Amino acid sequence: MGTLEVPEVERDYTRYSNRQLAAVPLAVLAVALLVLSGSFLAYGAPVPLGMDFAGGAQLTVETTSSEAQIQDAFSVEPDSIQSVVGENQYTVQFAGVEDDDVIQDLSNQAESNLEPAGDGSVVQSESTASASFAAQTQQTALLGIAVAFVGMSVIAFLLFRTFVPAVAIVLSAFSDLIIPLAFMSIAGIPLSLGTVAALLMLIGYSVDSDILLNNHILRRQGDFYESTHRAMRTGITMTVTSMMAMLVMGIAASLFGVDLLASIGIVLFVGLAADLMNTYMLNVSLLRWYKFHGVRS
C-alpha cells in the first residue's frame, strides 16, 4: 500500500506558533462543548437517546409502502426506521413510548395507513423496552466509556512518565470523543449501543495515532521535524484509509437502509477527521513546546 504525501513539515510548522497551532482544535472543542451543553439544557440530554437508552416501543411491519410513507403513517414520529434487506419488512422504533394504549394506537395506525405486503396483517410483532432497563443499559455503557478512557489515560502516563506528553494524548482523546458527540447532537444521530461501540473504537484510534507520534518524537533519533514527518507518513496513511473505509460503509449502509451501520460509519468518519486535527495540530504544538521550552525531568 502506498503512503499519502505529507507536507514539508519543518517549513509549514515553523510558520505558526504553538498557540496558533493549538487554537483551532481548542476552538472546535469549545464549540462542541457548547453544542452539547445547549442540547442538555434544551432537551435534558447532550445527545438524542435511542431506544437502547431511553426505552420505548418497536413495531415490525411488513408493507410495500416506502420509508417516507412509513414515517408519515404515525401520529408519533418514529425515531428509527430500519429495513430488512431483501424483504418488505421494517423495524420502526419509538423511543420513550411505553404506554400500552399508545402502542396499540400506533399499531392500529400502521394497519390503517400502510399497504400490506401480502394477505396478512401489516404489523408482524410488537416489543417494548422499559425505561428502567434502558437506564441501566445507559449507565453500563457510560461506565464502559469511562473505564476505557481512564485506562487509556493510565497507559499514557505509564508509557511516557512525563506530564506534558501524557496530557497531550489524554486531551486529544477527549476531544476525539466530544467532537463526534456534538456532531451526533446536531445531526440527530441517537446514542445507541452501536454508536457507543463506535466511540469506544475512537478511543483506540486516538491512542494509536497519538502514541505513534509521541514515540517517534520522544524516543527515536532525529530532530523534532524529521521525527514528526516520519510519524505523519504512517499516521496519516492509516487514519485516512480508515476514514475512507468508514465513509464507504456509511454510504453503503444508508443506501441499503441499515441505519445502525450508517450511523456507526459516519460517527467514526467524523471522529477520525477530528483525530487528524487533534494529533497533528494540538498534540504537535504541545510536544514542540515540551521539546524546546518545557521543563523535563
> Are 117 and 146 in the same domain?
no
Q: Is the pTM of this model over 0.85?
A: no
Last residue of a domain, one of 97, 129, 161: 129
Please state, in angstroms and rounded to a whole number, the distance separating the CA atoms of residues 40 and 31. 14
> Are 114 and 139 in the same domain?
no
> Are 186 and 250 in the same domain?
yes
> Are 199 and 256 in the same domain?
yes
Please state, in angstroms and rounded to a whole number, the distance separating the CA atoms of residues 277 and 273. 7
Using CA atoms, how far residue 20 sits from 14, 31, 284, 290, in Å, is 11, 17, 12, 16
pLDDT (0 to 100) of residue 177? 93
- Which has the higher per-residue pLDDT, 54 or 142? 142
How many domains does the chain contain in total?
A: 2
Domain containing 64 equals 56-129
pLDDT in tens, 110-125: 888 888 877 778 888 8
The answer to whether position 34 is within a domain reads yes
User: pLDDT at residue 30 above 90?
Assistant: yes
Please state, in angstroms and rounded to a whole number, the distance separating the CA atoms of residues 58 and 61. 10
The SS3 assignment for 83 reads strand
Mean pLDDT along residues 261-273? 94
pLDDT (0 to 100) of residue 293? 77
> Are 98 and 116 in the same domain?
yes
> Are 80 and 227 in the same domain?
no
> Are 75 and 122 in the same domain?
yes
Q: What CATH number does residue 103 fall under?
A: 3.30.70
